[in-house]
């Protein structure tokens, strides 16, 4: 949904004028390629219609002053005196810090921000906020928007300022997403290829309404296990290990490490196979690969949850569904399903009722189109 009217009206109310600039950056779902990005592998996310929006105007004093409409909270900071605190403004400060550290001369601005990407749901609200902030700085400071560079800096903001050790996928898709397409990202070279969604199917986001607190520690543990496996094979990352290598030498690994490695290695292969299927318009094969991805995440990588498994099973039981899997880091949050377009509304209603009956939880099920990455929506 466009939040343009909301942020422009709020800007007018608080600043007594029309905004000079409006920017937005999207959340994402990942169709396939889970936990492969920090293994230098392949991912296939698409930007979604839910996004973070900022209406703003430049300031001449090097300060940033922003109202988060959804929280009713102001934040203000000076670009020459960034201090680490807590809360949502750290994402903005982290961007200011990372870009300035990389040598960008930033100007200040003031405005309002609002978003409809739910937080902690696995739809990458933090990358949306980072890349919307980056777009705001880009317009007022007038530097080139090179998506891979912007994504790397956004990841640096998140890793080093916010303190979350994420991979590159979320910032890359928020920076470089393409309407109507998923994006194959090679997380080593950061080369991207837009891949059109097959005709006659839509992507449905299935929010389990569960959130898990321990995601960060489990995520870091998986990263270490993957690094240990790569070290064992004597390569920089699991990207460099083939299914044949694993079959030949997998038995040398500790049992848990072997399963973690097997997930990543087979997931990379599934992701490339998914691209081939999509290019051939073969939604059935794409769906099957998504199913296999979920099984691998559940059994080998062990990052699913009972709620996610229930949602995926219920989705998969509906005849209009071609494939379903958890998306994001896991342990809660959202699943994603590939569904026949003409039955998508019936699918959503059916799965919502079944999930409610099975768990007592109220899910949020939405059909989404593939959206553009971070854009300048309006500039006067």
CB of 238 to ligand GLA, least distance (A): 13
Nearer to ligand GLA, 138 or 268 (CB): 268
- Tell whether residue 166 is a contact of ligand GLA (CB under 6 A): yes
What's the CA gap between 158 and 130, in Å, rounded? 8
- Tell whether residue 329 is a contact of ligand GLA (CB under 6 A): yes
Q: Are 202 and 191 contacting, i.e. CB atoms less than 8 angstroms apart?
A: no
Q: How many CA atoms lie within 13 A of 378 on its CB side?
A: 17
Integer CA distances (angstroms), 186 to 178, 234, 246, 272, in order: 16, 21, 21, 10
Q: Are 267 and 296 contacting, i.e. CB atoms less than 8 angstroms apart?
A: yes
Integer CA distances (angstroms), 81 to 62, 89, 96, in order: 10, 14, 10
Nearer to ligand GLA, 40 or 110 (CB): 40
Candidate segments 163-171, 201-209, 257-265, 344-352, binder of ligand GLA by CB under 6 A:
163-171
Residue in the shown chain whose Cβ atom is closest to ligand GLA: 167
What residues from 12 to 31 belong to the interface with ligand GLA (CB under 6 A)?
30
Q: Are 312 and 332 contacting, i.e. CB atoms less than 8 angstroms apart?
A: no
142 assigned to active site:
no
Candidate segments 17-25, 59-67, 78-86, 161-169, binder of ligand GLA by CB under 6 A:
161-169
Candidate segments 32-40, 131-139, 278-286, 354-362, binder of ligand GLA by CB under 6 A:
32-40
Beta pairing, strands 108-115 & 63-68: parallel
Our CA angle for 321, 323, 326, nearest 5°, is 120
- Tell whether residue 205 is a contact of ligand GLA (CB under 6 A): no
Instruction: Look up residue 175 and give its two tokens.
Output: 């920076």
Cβ contacts of 174 within 8 Å, gap of 6 or more? 25, 26, 27, 28, 47, 124, 127, 128, 130, 131, 151, 154, 373, 374
CB of 61 to ligand GLA, least distance (A): 34
Nearer to ligand GLA, 138 or 327 (CB): 327
Nearer to ligand GLA, 94 or 167 (CB): 167
| Total chain residues near ligand GLA (CB under 6 A) | 12
- Tell whether residue 183 is a contact of ligand GLA (CB under 6 A): no
Site string for ligand GLA, 271-310 (x = CB under 6 A): ----------------------------------------
CB of 326 to ligand GLA, least distance (A): 10
Q: Which of 170, 254, 282, 300 is catalytic?
A: 170
Q: Which own/partner pairs from 255-259 qualify as long-range (CB within 8 Å, at least 24 positions apart)? A: 256/225, 257/225, 257/228, 257/229, 257/232, 258/229, 259/299, 259/300, 259/301, 259/302
Nearer to ligand GLA, 111 or 122 (CB): 122
DSSP letter, residue 243: H
Our CA angle for 175, 218, 365, nearest 5°, is 55
* Relative orientation angle of helices 147-156 and 169-176, to the nearest 10 degrees: 140
CB of 11 to ligand GLA, least distance (A): 30
Cβ atoms within 10 Å, residue 212:
17
Among 52, 98, 169, 324, binds ligand GLA (CB under 6 A): 169
Site string for ligand GLA, 331-370 (x = CB under 6 A): ----------------------------------------
Among 111, 328, 332, 333, binds ligand GLA (CB under 6 A): 328
Site string for ligand GLA, 112-141 (x = CB under 6 A): ------------x-----------------
Q: Please list the active-site residues.
A: 170
Q: Where along the sequence are the contacts to ligand GLA (CB under 6 A)?
A: 30, 34-35, 37-38, 124, 166-167, 169-170, 328-329
């Amino acid at each position: 949904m466009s939040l343009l009217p909301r942020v422009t009206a709020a800007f007018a109310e608080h600043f007594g004028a029309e905004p000079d600039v409006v920017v937005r950056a999207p959340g994402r779902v990942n169709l396939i390629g889970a936990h492969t990005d920090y293994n230098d592998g392949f991912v296939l996310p698409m930007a979604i219609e839910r996004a973070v929006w900022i209406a703003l105007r430049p300031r001449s004093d090097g300060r940033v002053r922003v109202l988060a409409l959804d929280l009713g909270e102001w934040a203000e900071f000076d670009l020459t005196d960034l201090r680490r605190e807590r809360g949502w403004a750290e994402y903005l400060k982290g961007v200011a810090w990372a870009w300035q550290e990389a040598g960008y001369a930033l100007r200040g601005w003031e405005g309002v921000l609002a978003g409809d990407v739910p937080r902690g749901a696995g739809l990458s609200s933090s990358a949306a906020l980072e890349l919307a902030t980056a777009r705001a700085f880009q317009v007022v400071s007038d530097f080139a928007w090179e998506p891979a560079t912007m994504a790397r800096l956004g990841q640096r903001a998140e890793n080093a300022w916010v303190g979350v050790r994420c991979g590159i996928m979320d910032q890359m898709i928020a920076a470089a997403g393409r309407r109507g397409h998923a994006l194959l990202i090679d997380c080593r070279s950061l080369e991207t290829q837009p891949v059109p969604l097959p005709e006659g199917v839509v992507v449905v986001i299935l929010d389990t309404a569960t959130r898990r607190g321990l995601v960060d520690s489990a995520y870091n543990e998986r990263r270490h296990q993957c690094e240990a496996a790569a070290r064992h094979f004597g390569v920089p990352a699991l990207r460099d290990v083939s299914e044949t290598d694993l079959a030949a030498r997998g038995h040398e690994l500790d049992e848990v490490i072997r399963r973690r490695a097997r997930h990543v290695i087979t997931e990379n292969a599934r992701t490339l196979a998914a691209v081939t299927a999509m290019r051939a318009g073969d939604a059935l094969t794409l769906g099957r690969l998504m199913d296999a991805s979920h099984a691998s995440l559940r059994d080998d990588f062990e990052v699913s949850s009972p709620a996610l498994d229930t949602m995926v099973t219920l989705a998969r039981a509906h005849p209009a569904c071609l494939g379903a899997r958890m998306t994001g880091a896991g342990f809660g949050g959202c699943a994603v399903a590939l569904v026949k377009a003409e039955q998508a509304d019936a699918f959503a209603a059916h799965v919502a009722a079944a999930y409610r009956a099975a768990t007592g939880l109220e899910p949020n099920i939405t059909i989404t189109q593939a959206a553009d990455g971070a854009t300048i929506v309006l500039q006067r």
